[in-house]
Structure 1
Amino acid sequence: MSEMVLTILSVCLLQGLFITKTASENVRNEASTLELLLEKVEHLEAQQRKYEEVNRMQELEIQMLKGQILEDKGQNLRTRRENENPIAFYGKMMNVHTNVSQNPILKFNNVVTNIGDPYSQHNGLFIVPVSGIYVFSTTVMTETDSDAHVGIYVNDVRMTNVKLYGSEHRYDTMSQTAVFQLQKYDTVSVRHYEGTQILHYDYTSFSGFLLQEDYGQMQGGIIG
């Protein structure tokens, strides 16, 4: 065999070896890349399972908190209903008021209803037992051609006005209702502040009741 042929065969053999080595290296590189990708996928899957478990625990905690809130709310409503104070008063005058002084407190000593004992017939004051919203009404009648000016007072402040002109038609009557937002120990009364001071006792009345108790701090004053 000639020397040239041997040279060509050597070159071909070397090329074959080089190609085989390169192919093997490529296979190893591809396998390494696939292993890295597989590890990354497994890591991401593990993180996803971890997040899903955290979300599940958070959802369970939220449901437990919702249930506790609803239970506490129901218990609070039951407690408030159980502790709600029934307060109601209705009374009429038993005698004619004549020649009374300026700003007298009318005393409704024929007490028909006095639930919770808020009204004192001795001083004519409705003493607020619990803070809240109250409704008060008064009906006043003048007699023997007399005029009268009467008002509902909160503490010592006149909040309403009732003006009767019996002198024009012998008798005159008027009713009035007001809503007050009051604090505990405020007083409410009906007082005569002007006129000839003669009222018909059987047709003059005063009533009040608790509309809604307030468990917080409220300022006194008329709201409607």
Structure 2
Amino acid sequence: MNALYFAQILLLIQIVNVHGEPHCSRYHYEEKMLEKMIRMEIRMEEIERKLQKAEETNKLLTDDIKDLQSHTVGKVAFFAIAKAHQLGMTKHQIVVFEEIVTHIGSSYDKTCGKFVAPKNGDYVFFSTVLGHNNAMVFLHVAVNNQQKTNFYAHGLNNGHDSTSVTVLYQLSEGDIVTIRNAGLKGDIHGSEYSSFGGFLLN
């Protein structure tokens, strides 16, 4: 039944109410019950339409999620920034970039500053580090604790200086890449001025 049919029945019931039996009759009770049932049927039809619309919307959202997942499967990329200053660092200490901005592939550990290659491939890494006020900072990119590429900053006249590096490494699954302090001491300025990122090239 549809809503129009139910509306016609309700109209007939109202006409019968005007010309029918007294309200205290059994007929009147059955008539009221029928009217309630018709209203419930109409309400159920409305609910079914809303459920159908919700199911269609849910299917569209599910398809969108699957589409996004298909575009990110196998991809690896991250970008993190340092918010806290890291002062008095020891030699070979890892610089930690504790706030993740982008993280595809879940391969960077923000608690210890380590990137772990999830699979074999060619990876690009880039980092910018700002030395603290008037500091001389020696840094290097390390792969499996081995020093690979150096970069350096030297703040003068109570100023700050930054340094950047971009590298391309061929890594095997499980290789660890970090940014480390290479000097005897090191003062790194955070406040989102220092960053570390990378991605799988192929």
Cα pair distance change 1:83/1:147, threshold 3 Å: closer
Q: Please report the TM-score for the alignment, with normalisation by the length of structure 2.
A: 0.61
User: Would you say how many aligned residue pairs link Structure 1 and Structure 2?
Assistant: 132
- Pick from 69, 90, 94 the counterpart of residue 105 of structure 1: 94
The residue identity in structure 2 corresponding to 1:203 is Y
Q: In structure 2, what is the Cα distance between the partners aligned to 1:181 and 1:89?
A: 17
Aligned residue in 1 for 2:64? none
Aligned residue in 1 for 2:110? 121
Aligned residue in 2 for 1:173? 162
Cα pair distance change 1:194/1:167, threshold 3 Å: farther
Higher helix share: 1
- Pick from 116, 121, 137 the counterpart of residue 132 of structure 1: 121
Q: Please report the TM-score for the alignment, with normalisation by the length of structure 1.
A: 0.56
Q: Deviations over 1:96-126 (max 9, x none)?
A: 0011222111111111111110001122110
Question: CA RMSD of the aligned region, Å?
Answer: 1.9
Aligned residue in 2 for 1:88? 77
The residue identity in structure 2 corresponding to 1:205 is S
Q: In structure 2, what is the Cα distance between the partners aligned to 1:158 and 1:168?
A: 30
Runs of 4+ in structure 1 over 3 Å off: 81-84
Q: In structure 2, what is the Cα distance between the partners aligned to 1:82 and 1:113?
A: 15
Percent of aligned pairs sharing the same letter: 30
> Which residues in structure 2 correspond to 1:1-224 (within 5 Å)?
85-167=74-156, 170-194=159-183, 196-201=185-190, 202-212=192-202
Higher strand share: 2
Are the counterparts in 1 of residues 127 and 196 from structure 2 also a CA contact under 8 Å? Answer: yes
Q: In structure 1, what is the Cα distance between the partners aligned to 2:115 and 2:132?
A: 26
CA radius of gyration, larger in: 1
Aligned residue in 2 for 1:15? none
